[in-house]
Amino acid sequence: MAEKREMIKVEKLNKSFGDLHVLKDVDMTVKESDVVVLIGASGSGKSTLLRCLNFLEIKNSGTITIEGKQIEPDKDDLNKVRQTVGMVFQHFNLFPHKTVLENVIEAPLMVKKMKKDEAVKEGKELLAKVGLAEKADVYPSKLSGGQKQRVAIARSLAMKPDIMLFDEPTSALDPELVGEVLSTMKELAREGMTMVVVTHEMGFAREVADWVCYMHGGRIVERGHPDELFDNPTEQRTQDFLSSIL
């Protein structure tokens, strides 16, 4: 079998907010169809790492290579890069003044200049895929949290990204709504999407992740297959974190 393509390669990534050094020399490689789960306490830098990957935060030093191309924020067109790296947010961030379908087709229409009927057709297919075909014409305010997050996933997929980033996608949801979002994400993983997920859902990590990174103090302290990392963590800090949450 051919070696899988490197989708994301991060080397010696550093990021500070003022005096606060949030990411310290982070190295990470994500290959095609990998599902990577980042875990760690709040403030450990996992969300910042994720946000650096689509340049919502701009690194201070180090390199970020997306699909073989090293991206320099001041030279490269980040709008182009972001079209291949989709993102799903903790608080959904749907556009409240647009219907569900309008949310999904906004970027294809405006950025890709897709024809309206084509965008609508694809948008409806995506909504059907996340199980919300019948909600196409309602406004986000009428949806439950789980439905909103599934629309957000469909909206992101509408740009046909090669990589999807999930920033605590279920943390703002009522417990009974977490499952529907996770199963949409599992479906996506099965289809071979390359995914980097920040989450506290250890069940999801165990079931879906190809490997898990434990972050602490701005570094990736330990990484490994979920079974190894959860059952036999080698680092004391990983053990402490896992025993505090499991």
Q: Which of 107, 154, 188, 208 binds another protein (CB under 8 A)?
A: 107
Strand partners, 23: 15
Between CA 84 and CA 66 the distance in angstroms is 9
Residue 239 contacts another protein per CB under 8 A: no
Number of residues located near another protein, criterion CB under 8 A: 29
- Report CA Rg, the chain: 18
**Candidates 29-37, 75-83, 175-183, 220-228 — which segment interacts with another protein by CB under 8 A?**
75-83
Q: Which of the residues 125 through 184 are near another protein (CB under 8 A)?
A: 139-141, 152, 155-156, 159
Residue 168 to residues 4, 62, 90, 198, Cα–Cα distance (Å): 27, 25, 5, 5
State the amino acid at position 187 in one-letter form.
E
The verdict on 75 binding another protein (CB under 8 A) reads: no
| Rounded alpha-carbon distances, angstroms, from residue 53 to 30, 196, 233 | 11, 10, 27
Nearest to 22 by CA among 64, 52, 56: 52
Q: Which is nearer to another protein, 86 or 226 (CB)?
A: 86
3-state percent helix, strand, coil for the chain, nearest multiple of 5: 40, 25, 35
From residue 25 to residue 64, what is the string marking binding to another protein with x (rule CB under 8 A)? -----------------------------x-x--------
Report in angstroms how near the CB of residue 166 gets to another protein at its nearest. 12
**CB of 240: closest distance to another protein in angstroms?**
32
CA distance 6 to 10: 11
What residues have CB less than 8 Å from 51, skipping those under 6 apart? 57, 167
Segment near another protein (CB under 8 A); pick from 41-49, 106-114, 173-181, 237-245: 106-114
Phi, psi of 30 (to 5 degrees): -120, 125
Query: Could you say which of 15, 46, 82, 148 contacts another protein (CB under 8 A)?
Result: 82
* Residue from 16, 93, 171, 183 in contact with another protein (CB under 8 A): 93
Q: Which stretch binds another protein (CB under 8 A): 27-35, 98-106, 126-134, 189-197?
A: 98-106
83 touches another protein (CB under 8 A)? yes
The reply to whether 95 sits near another protein by the rule CB under 8 A is yes
Distance CA 155, CA 151 (A): 6
Q: Which residues in this chain contact another protein in the complex, by CB under 8 A?
A: 54, 56, 79-80, 82-83, 85-87, 89, 91, 93-99, 106-107, 110-111, 139-141, 152, 155-156, 159
